[in-house]
A and B are shown apart, each in its own frame.
Chain A
Amino acid sequence: MRARNYIVGAAFALLAAGMGHSALAEDIKIGEINSYSLLPAFTEPYRKGWQLAVEEINASGGINGKKLVVVSKDDGGKPADAQTAANELVSSEGVAMLTGTFLSNIGLAVSDFANQKKVFFLAAEPLTDAVTWAKGNKYTFRLRPSNYMQAAMLVEAASKLPAKRWATIAPNYEYGQSAVSVFKKLMSEKRPDIQWVDEQWPPQGKIDAGPVVQAVAQANPEAILNVTFGPDLVKLVREGNTRGLFKGREVVSFLTGEPEYLDPLKDETPEGWIVTGYPWYSIKTPEHDAFLKAYQAKYNDYPRLGSIVGYQTIKAAAAILAKAGSTDTDKMIAAAEGISMPSPFGEITFRKIDHQSTLGAFVGKTAQKDGKGVMVDAAYKKGADYLPGDAEVEKLRPKD
């Protein structure tokens, strides 16, 4: 019986190993990993974004004359599967670098893989500060503004509010916990008079919104910090609206202004929340106009924040490869440290000190317009302005 087992196993393994040698040898291949099947709401626009970037890069002559090919893999939302995919991309596909990932734990898993296998990794989305700080490494760079940066942007606005009694609602996992703790720390530095009167930690994806809303209301805070997103946010907002939780209270909320999370709320969008996000409809810069026009022309759809991240990830990868003039990992690292490049949000730089890009985010207020949620009074916050000083960063990051 076992004979058959091993033969079947070997056959599958060989089959898997033999896949995907379609690209030509002189092409430059980039590996890309994301949670396509688990988080389609975010990763679909993201994929469209990077596909647009690939098209643009190759239309304008590729990278130093070579065609760019992106090999994309699904990780199903599991760190272990992401590592299998990373391994396939590196060992079997021979990609020059790895990019992508959404969830923090997957970002860290791939970052650790990159560190071990000495592969260049450009993390697209994962927000945890650990990617560039506590668990940062030589091989890993990150595009999106980190948890800390978004918290700092929100604190800037939140600390100006008169509210003194604050409550927090955050999903019970690392992202939610570190968002709350950074926010609290930065807030308390600016406003020592603040009191934290309640905190709620619903499990991610399983909020029982009624009791949570009721419990927060009972603590009678003057302002609320929200970190939930996705379906949890929808439930929280609906219960909160019906039960009047948000009436007369300020709300500061992570990510809520991103179209991925704001659009589903439609006519239930709460008014006046201070949020980070992406108001694609009101950004009037030439860089963004060009991106918007190209995106809408190709997909007949409006971009989400994921589209920007996907687009810029591949653009950044291409810029690094072009500058390095090689797919040698050390040369790419040298090229990436301190590289500046244009983006739909203006020029960004990958810092040498912690490999964090200075891509920023928009901070504004939520509002309703024609039964849809929008961000108003939005202002772009440059990432560089919301990072701690170099001395502090040095302390946060392990020595290579």
Chain B
Amino acid sequence: MSLVPPLLAVEGLTKSYGGIHAVRGVSFSLRSGEILALIGPNGAGKSTCFDMLNGQNKPDSGQVRLLGEETTGKKPREIWRMGVGRTFQITATFATMTVRENVQVALISHGRQLFNFWGSAPDVDRNEAGRLLELVGMSGYADRPCGELAYGDLKRLELAVALANDPKLLLMDEPTAGMAPRERVELMRLTAQIAKEKSIGVLFTEHDMDVVFEHADRIIVLNRGTLIAEGSPAEVRGNPQVQAIYLGEGLLYEGGHREGASA
């Protein structure tokens, strides 16, 4: 136990819907610069768990602390202000705005310029936006309307947007869902690289086990709302309980089942 609180500390997180426990007593923690994967079969409570971390959903009980500060019950935008960036399972971007403008909006918000009625927004943080786009390899698309982008590019844009507030923590809900295998690897390699450079903690859920085992420093496994395993990729891979669950489902790979219609 060090005196410095962990970046993210989750304790006894519980949520039930109509008597059914979606998430029950989940506890884990995350250090700066660490990449933590949250996995589990369908209906294990990953999304519920995730939504309680980012403020979309309120836990029945339990606590979430970011650098020692309580985030439970806070709204998504307040959690973002505390330094948490996020990407969505199905991308959410500003479809009528250009790629650069998407990033600029996040920068404007970060710079608390939202109620500036007179400034020229195209010039606000233009360079910073360009830098972020370059970071994710989207420089060439800066002036393209976001509605025209391919799905993989949207995911990369989301990453750039998520990085706009200099986050300490990135929450990524199935960051590679709906992408081609090669794109998946590229995106996660990029994410990992940025995380290490900037010492950002990353928590992500993922169906693609290749991605998980290649990029996660640590993995936690959720089944029926409870945490059943935690450890390094190698430890988790060898855990018989985990094997049973995944073998029971028949397949390790089942990504892309939810977002098929949306691209």
Do chains A and B directly touch (beta carbons under 8 Å) in the complex? Answer: no
